[in-house]
Structure 1
Amino acid sequence: MTQTESQTTPPTPRSADPAADASTTPTEQPWANDTVEFANTASAPASWYSSDWRPFRNVIVCRMVPGSEDKVGPVFAYYDRTTRPQDLGVVGRILLSYEGLYLHVIERKQDPEVSGQRRGLPAFQIISEVIAPYVTPYASYWQNPSHSVAKHFYSWVPEGPVSPDREMTVIVQRMVPGSEEDIARVFAESDAGGLPTETGVTGRWLYSMEDVFVHILEQDRVKAAAVRENHESMRPAFAKVMADLAPYVSPYNPETWQSPRDSVARVFHRWTAPDWQPGDPEPVLAEEEAPSSWT
């Protein structure tokens, strides 16, 4: 963070993550006994996959102190259990880590530009205070939490029905800043052909944060497992895509990267609203409960 940015930061701890938005300070840590479990993919309720509905996703990109997943994950896990983010439009949350990065995927019922519901968790300042030592801004221009939200620049879903048995993987790579249009063009050309169907892709969403490229990949679970098992045999099919992306995309950390699976971020917290499914009516909030600005 530059000297100018530090001068604009409030004196009290403040998280770079805009979803950690709150106003009260608790006297204890009720999540102290919670633990984190790591996974390479994220699942969703069967009701989400029984139709063509997809959540609207925001992706937050920050830096994170390596090894601090057990400091950050339990805080969100506790408040996801004990509050009702779904009443404010948030129906899912995925926290991931990758090479010193913190990724927070917020899944909403619909685009907040349409719903007007922009807030993440209901007001609990403790989230911001607790994760502030571990989660810090990534963007060089960061001045407020909204600057941690990655830019969504491409998405694709196939026409027609897809398998209800799907999984989601988050891939992280380095990108040439400003190359979103070129990267989108390469994927659009590939997605117009048969490769997505052959590899079980049921959805793709691309995001950027300066030189960080985030690729959310949704796949048929059975086909995805087959691709992972026989990745070398699939290499020729991916060759053109990889060659076309090469001028713009590279491993985030070349020193640790050996194969494409080394670009997969690890999930350390996953929550979905247990009592909501697509098509449910929206709750009517009292005026004092109406969501405030997300930032």
Structure 2
Amino acid sequence: MTQTEHQTTPSTPTPRSADPAADAATTPVEYPPLAPMTTTAATPASWASATWRPFRNVIVCRMVPGSEDKVGPVFAYYDQTTRPQDLGVVGRVLLSYEDLYLHVIERKQDPAVSGQRRGLPAFQAIAEAIEPYVTPYASYWENPSHSVAKHFYSWLPEGEVSPDREMTVIVQRMKPGTEEEIARVFAESDAGGLPTETGVTGRWLYSMEDVFVHLLEQDRTKAAAVRQNHESMRPAFAKVMADLAPYVSPYRPETWQTPRDSVATVFHRWTAPDWKPGDPEPVLAQEEAPSSWT
């Protein structure tokens, strides 16, 4: 918190948002007017390297369709006027898909390992601003932590890969409770040559009840070549899709036509502009009280 921000007596706020990244305030602040701001769909990460990957959480909520221009500028304002990187967050991607809100939070390290679970004071203001548009998805939702999707599979290739990578977020329906079966299908495919041939540099799978979220990272040049010559890979892709068919289906089958229809749309992306792996951690002020989510 800067010296110019308004401070009030610390309190434990009532949860105001389904997104835990916007709901962990311990010090309420006055919410300043949002300035007009343009968000970008692709910004190179300052920490891009051949080996290092951030720890990623995925938050899944419902969102009022068409409200991207209401939600995106809220995060854009605070990503520019505060320092999430001092609290371990080095990037975030906000995406929409049909009536879903997806928030990919990129951290320096798993909070379970680092112990860094502090929240920016601005999070209460963010929560109040997005509350009309972002609501819980999980049927069992009682607190913001229930919006964090379950991570159940990941794969990384051996050795170094190109730092020029792009991430695609794919959203589908899944049969609840079939994480083990879905992971098996991808593990069998990833053990072969298909990922390398298509430039896959990382894969992370998440679930939220009947929502399946697939974070696919690819070498940008190889991914473009595959899109131009998709027919050469069709048999291998067809096998994966056939093996997944008992467990995975389009989120909206009535409007789905091609695999591209399952790709979520980025409406805000931020990466820490002045941080890279190996940088020393800042010393946080005592008044920055810890919170459960950042």
When normalised by structure 1's length, the TM-score is 0.90
Residue 34 of structure 1: aligned partner: 37
Conserved in 1, the CA contact under 8 Å of 2:43 and 2:270?
Answer: no
**Contiguous gaps of at least 5 residues in structure 1:** 1-9
Q: Quick check: 1:150 aligned with 2:149?
A: yes
Task: Indicate the residue corresponding to 1:15 in structure 2.
Answer: 17
Q: Which residue of 2 aligns with 1:192?
A: 191
Give, in angstroms, the shift of residue 234 of structure 1. Answer: 2.0
Report the AA paired with residue 19 of structure 2: D
Q: CA deviation at 1:242?
A: 0.7
Aligned-pair CA distance for 1:164 = 1.8
Q: Equivalents in 2 of 1:65, 1:232: separation in Å? A: 37
Partners of 2:169 and 2:183 lie apart in 1 by 17
Asked whether the equivalents of residues 71 and 133 of structure 2 are also in contact (C-alpha less than 8 Å), the reply is: yes
The CA deviation at 1:257 is: 0.9
Contact 1:43/1:168 (<8 A) preserved: no
Counterpart of 1:165?
164
Which residue of structure 2 aligns with residue 204 of structure 1?
203
State the distance in 2 between where 1:27 and 1:208 align. 33
Q: Which residue of 2 aligns with 1:5?
A: none
Q: How does 1:15-164 map to 2 (within 5 A)?
A: 15-21=17-23, 22=25, 23-26=27-30, 28-31=32-35, 33-37=36-40, 39=41, 42-45=42-45, 47-164=46-163
Measured after TM superposition, the shift of residue 50 of structure 1 is 2.4
What are the Cα deviations for residues 40-98 of structure 1, in whole angstroms up to 9, with x where unaligned?
A: xx4542x5332301000000000000000000000000000000111110000100000
- Paired residues for 1:172-183 under 5 Å: 172-183=171-182
Distance 1:119 1:257 in 2: 40
Q: State the percentage of identical aligned residues.
A: 85
Counterpart-to-counterpart distance in 1, 2:48 and 2:86: 21
- Cα distance, 1:240 vs. partner? 1.1
| Structure 1 residue 34, shift from structure 2 partner | 2.1
Mapped partners of 2:84, 2:13: distance in 1: 28
State the partner residue of 2:9: none
Q: Which amino acid aligns with 2:33?
A: Q
CA distance in 1 between counterparts of 2:271 and 2:13 reads 34
| Structure 2 length-normalised TM | 0.90
- Aligned match of 2:269: 270
* Alignment match, 2:280: 281
| Residues 1:281 and 1:216: Cα distance change in structure 2 (over 3 Å) | same
Which ranges of structure 2 fall in alignment gaps of 5 or more residues?
1-11
Matched residues in 1 for 2:115 and 2:203: separation?
25
SS in 1 for 2:216: strand
Secondary structure of the equivalent of 2:47?
helix
Q: Summarize deviations over 1:148-205 as a string: whole Å, max 9, x none.
A: 0000000000001111211111000100000000000000000000000000000000
Q: Distance in 2 between matches of 1:116 and 1:167?
A: 29
Contact 2:118 2:288 in 1 (8 A): no
Corresponding residue for residue 4 of structure 1: none
Partners of 1:90 and 1:120 within 8 A in 2: no
Residue 65 of structure 2: SS of its match in structure 1? coil
Q: Is the 8 A contact 2:141 2:147 kept in 1?
A: yes
Change (3 A) 1:12 1:117: closer
- Can you list the C-alpha shifts for 1:101-151, whole angstroms capped at 9, x where unaligned? 000000000000011112454444221111001000000000000000000
Question: What is the total number of aligned residue pairs between the two structures?
Answer: 281
Deviation at 1:228, TM superposition (A): 1.6
RMSD: 1.9
Aligned position for 1:242: 241
Q: Which whole-Å CA distance do the structure 2 matches of 1:97 and 1:51 have between them?
A: 29
Distance between the aligned counterparts of 1:191 and 1:121, measured in 2? 38
**Alpha-carbon contact 2:170-2:214 (below 8 Å) kept:** yes
Contact 1:36 1:69 in 2 (8 A): no
